[in-house]
Amino acid sequence: MELRKINKIDAKAQWEYTTALPEDENGLTNPYNGVSYDDYIEKVLPTLISYEHPVNMPDWFVPETYYYLWDDGRLVGEFRIRHHLTEALKIGAGHIGYSIRRYERGKGYATAGLKLTLQEARKIIPEAEIYLRVNKDNIASQKVMQKNGGKVVGEDDGHFFVRIPKYFDCGMEKDNYWFRYRTGAIIVRDNKMLFVKSKFGGYYYMIGGGVHLGEDSKSCVERETYEETGVKCTARRIAIICENFFCGVGGAIDGKDCHVLEHYYLMDAPKEASFETSTDDEEKLEWVDLDELVNNDIRPAFLKTKLKEVIEGGSLIHVINDERNV
C-alpha cells in the first residue's frame, strides 16, 4: 500500500476515480463529477496539480496537495492536504479531506490512508495540531480518526471537530502513573549554565523536552533547544542518563507518580548567540553560576553535585534518581 502524489502518469486511474466521486459526499465536494477524459487531461489535472504551488489565486486560497492511495495496483482512495489554516478552515473542513471507493470501504483503507497522509501533513503544516471535521452521522469516519489519535474537541449542528497532535511524544499514562522519554540540554557560558525556571514553584530544571515517536535523542535535544532558546546548538555528546522518579507538581502532572527516562547532552552553542529570556511556554530562562548550583533549587537534585563533573570532562554517568518519598 502506498500514497502517491497526483501526477500525469496515473492520469487515467485518477480520472476514473475523480469523475466517479459524487459532487458532495460526507462534506467532501467534487466539482469534476462526470467530466470527460479529454477535459480532465487538458483542464482538471493541470489545475489540481497547480494547487500545490498556486499562482495568481485569491488571498483566501490555501495551497492544497492531492494524494491517491494505491493497493496492489488499484487506486482505492483520495486524500487532500491543505497546507495551512485560515479562520474559516479552523471552524470548517480543517487540513485533510478524504474519500474511499464505495466498494472498497470497510477494508481498513481509510485508516491506513489517513495514517500515511498524516505523515505527509506533519512535514507541511505549521500548526501544532492537525484539524479534521467529520459528519455526526458518519460513524465509520469517526472511528478512522480515533484510530489515528483523533480527539473530538467541539461540534456544531452537523459535525464533530477533531484534532490530532502533529507529533506524539514517547510516553504514556496509566492510572496515576505518568511516563515520558525526555532529553535535556547542558548549555554553559562563562561558568554559568542556562536553566528553565519553573512557573510551578520557582525551581530550576534543564532545557529540553519529550522525544517524539520515531525521533532520536540527539535530534530531539537540538530541536527542543532551538524551540526554547531561539539558538541552534549542536549536541556534542551524551553526558548523563537519568532514570528519574518523582511526584509531579503543577500543570498536567500535578500529583502524579512520574517516571521519566532522561538523556542529558553537553551542547555547543555559537559564541555570539543571543538566547531568548523565556521559553515557548513562557517560562523564564536564567543563567545560574556553576559555583552556586548547590545553593539553588535544581531538579533533579543530584545535578547540583554532578553537573560540574561532567562539564569539566567527566565520563558518561548513569543515575537512578528517586524523589518520590522525599
- d(CA 42, CA 255) in angstroms, rounded, equals 63
Q: Diameter of the chain by CA atoms?
A: 78
Q: What is the three-class DSSP state of 256? A: coil
Give the start-end residues of each E strand in 128-200.
129-135, 151-155, 159-165, 171-174, 177-186, 188-189, 192-197
Residue with cell 530562562: 285
pLDDT for 75 equals: 97
The whole-number pLDDT of residue 215 equals 92
- 136-174 as b/e: b if 16+ CB within 10 A: eebeebbebbeebebeeeeeeeebbbbbbeeeebbbeee
CA gap 96, 49 in Å, rounded: 17
pTM of the model: 0.65
Phi, psi for 198 (deg, rounded to 5): -65, 140
Which pLDDT belongs to residue 59? 86
Q: What is the pLDDT of residue 211?
A: 96
Per DSSP, the residues of 199-219 read TTTS-EEEEEEEPBTT--HHH
d(CA 4, CA 144): 20
Judge if the upstream peptide bond of residue 300 is cis by omega within 30 degrees of 0. Answer: yes
Measure the CA–CA gap between 280 and 226, rounded to whole angstroms: 10
- Which tens digit of pLDDT belongs to each residue from 294-307? 999 999 999 999 99
User: Could you give the 3-state DSSP secondary structure of residue 148?
Assistant: coil
Structure confidence at residue 31 (pLDDT): 84
- For residue 315, which amino acid is it? S
Residue 124 pLDDT: 94
Task: Convert the pLDDT of each residue in 263-292 to its tens digit.
Answer: 999 999 999 899 999 997 789 999 999 999
Q: Residue 238 to residues 225, 294, 305, 313: CA-CA distances in angstroms? A: 15, 23, 18, 12
Q: Supply 36's cell numbers.
A: 470527460
Q: Say how many CA atoms lie within 13 Å of 69 toward its Cβ.
A: 24
Q: What is the pLDDT of residue 252?
A: 84
SS3 91: coil
In angstroms, rounded to a whole number, what is the distance separating the alpha carbons of residues 240 and 107?
47
What pLDDT, on the 0 to 100 scale, is given for residue 34?
Answer: 87
Q: Which residue ranges of the chain lie beneath pLDDT 70?
A: 26, 326
